[in-house]
Amino acid sequence: MENILLVCSAGMSTSLLVTKMKKAAEENDVQCNIWAVSQSEAESNWEKADVILLGPQVRFIESKIKTMVKDKIPVAVIDVVTYGRVDGLAVLEQAYDVIDAFQK
């Protein structure tokens, strides 16, 4: 079971996306934990995650987050169009694609 952490400005703008991702996971029989936090809470949550996805509005912290996790887990920015559409399935697929690419 994968642990997917979403990071955004205040931790609230991704709440609907998390809900949609959980629904997509359930519909596709994918077992995972998905949660969102603000950028200030990322440091206390990253060690519980298998992947960190950043909301497009915080893409500027990508290098900071990558430095923080020290290449232990993958970090990626959610596509702005996918994020804007609140496409839970697409973001869920992105999370697994990022994990797969990281493990190769």
Q: Which residues are catalytic?
A: 8
Tokens of 9: 């400005």
DSSP secondary structure letter of residue 78 = P
SS3 content of the chain, % helix, strand, coil (to 5): 55, 20, 25
Q: How far apart are CA 60 and CA 103, in angstroms?
A: 24
Q: How far apart are CA 7 and CA 20, in angstroms?
A: 16
